[in-house]
């Protein structure tokens, strides 16, 4: 029995001790009361850690009926099987609640890069915003017949900073798809709140498509509306 337990990582230590104790006492089979209650079963159930109560509630009456007239070895094996079932169930359920479980790490990185870009724009930080844009940026802007480059985008962005205040930029409903570990495409809704020079409030909202590539870091390589349609931002 100890060898079998050693092959099961993170097994309930209290259950382990209970079963070992039951094996040690096998030569002295427990007395069975008139009600058919096995005393050693009660002892083992009380030894099971209370911290597992939320994960798997043990019906004591069912255990008593199952163990009626059984030897200690059968009781031990039944407890072992139930313990393995509880261990597997608790592990599977706990994974769902973990932070970022089941999320593609590439998606996490891409979202972080876009969060940094929107934060830089909201803070009107030209240097940080530019660092997250590829030197080969393709910017599909309203009024242009062909994609502009990084310089044209930065010119519009700095003019926006100069003429606006209280800027807040965010990307909502963002969907991310990756192609390998160095290329990603995203789609979502760009929402920009700002005040103009007169203090009037404005809201710009448009569906955007943003492509990124990773060299030493993730950088935006393309800014447009869906299907490379011309976009309004920066206003």
Query: Residue 75: what pLDDT?
Result: 55
Instruction: Please tell me whether residue 139 adopts helix, strand or coil conformation.
Output: strand
Average pLDDT of 199-218?
A: 96
- 211, 150, 156: which is closest to 186 by C-alpha? 211
Query: Residue 78: what pLDDT?
Result: 62
* pLDDT over 70 at 43, yes or no: no
- Give me the sign of the Cα torsion angle 123, 128, 132, 136: positive
Average pLDDT of 34-58?
A: 41
Contacts of 44 (CB under 8 A, 6+ apart): 15, 18, 19, 21, 22, 75, 79
The C-alpha atoms of residue 191 and residue 208 are separated, in whole angstroms, by 10
Q: Residue 147: which pLDDT band, with cuts at 50, 70 and 90?
A: very high
* pLDDT over 70 at 111, yes or no: yes
Query: Residue 172: what pLDDT?
Result: 97
Query: Residue 14: what pLDDT?
Result: 46
Query: Residue 68: what pLDDT?
Result: 52
The C-alpha atoms of residue 118 and residue 25 are separated, in whole angstroms, by 67
Query: Residue 10: what pLDDT?
Result: 41
Average pLDDT of 160-178?
A: 96
* pLDDT over 50 at 183, yes or no: yes
Cβ atoms of 18 and 67 within 8 Å: the answer is no
More confident residue, 10 or 152: 152
The C-alpha atoms of residue 138 and residue 221 are separated, in whole angstroms, by 6
- When the pLDDT of each residue in the chain is averaged and rounded to a whole number, the result is 74
Query: Residue 103: what pLDDT?
Result: 78
Query: Residue 40: what pLDDT?
Result: 42
Query: Residue 72: what pLDDT?
Result: 52
Query: Residue 13: what pLDDT?
Result: 45
Domains of the chain: 2-97 (no CATH), 105-228 (3.10.450.50)
Which two tokens mark 69? 């007239």
Cβ atoms of 209 and 186 within 8 Å: the answer is yes
* pLDDT over 50 at 38, yes or no: no
* pLDDT over 80 at 98, yes or no: no
Cβ atoms of 222 and 230 within 8 Å: the answer is no
**183, β-bridge pairs:** 179, 213
* pLDDT over 50 at 179, yes or no: yes
Query: Residue 49: what pLDDT?
Result: 40
Cβ atoms of 127 and 230 within 8 Å: the answer is no
The C-alpha atoms of residue 32 and residue 11 are separated, in whole angstroms, by 29
**225, β-bridge pairs:** 208
The C-alpha atoms of residue 94 and residue 203 are separated, in whole angstroms, by 42
Task: State the alpha helices, DSSP H only, in the chain.
Answer: 2-6, 13-24, 39-47, 60-67, 72-97, 105-122, 126-131, 150-163
Strands 165-179 and 133-139: unpaired
More confident residue, 63 or 73: 73
More confident residue, 77 or 197: 197
């Amino acid at each position: 029995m100890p060898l079998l337990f050693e092959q099961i990582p993170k097994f309930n230590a209290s259950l382990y001790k209970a079963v070992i104790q039951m094996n040690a006492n096998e030569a002295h089979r427990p007395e069975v009361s008139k009600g058919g209650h096995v005393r050693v079963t009660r002892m083992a159930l009380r030894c099971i850690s209370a911290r597992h109560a939320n994960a798997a509630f043990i019906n004591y009456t069912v255990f008593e009926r199952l163990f009626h007239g059984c030897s200690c070895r059968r009781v031990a094996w039944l407890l072992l099987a139930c313990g393995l079932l509880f261990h597997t169930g608790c592990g599977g359920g706990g994974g769902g609640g973990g932070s970022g479980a089941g999320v593609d790490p590439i998606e996490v990185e891409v979202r972080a890069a876009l969060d940094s870009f929107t934060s830089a724009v909201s803070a009107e930080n030209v240097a940080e915003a530019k660092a997250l844009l590829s030197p080969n940026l393709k910017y599909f802007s309203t009024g242009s017949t062909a994609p502009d480059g990084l310089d044209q985008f930065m010119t519009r962005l700095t003019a926006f900073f100069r003429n606006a205040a209280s800027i807040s930029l965010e990307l909502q409903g963002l969907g991310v798809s990756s192609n390998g570990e160095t290329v990603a495409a995203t789609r979502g809704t760009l929402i920009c709140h700002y005040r103009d020079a007169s203090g009037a409030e404005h809201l710009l909202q448009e569906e955007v498509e943003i492509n990124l590539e990773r060299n030493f870091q993730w950088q935006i390589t393309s800014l447009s509306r869906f299907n490379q349609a011309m976009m309004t931002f920066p206003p």
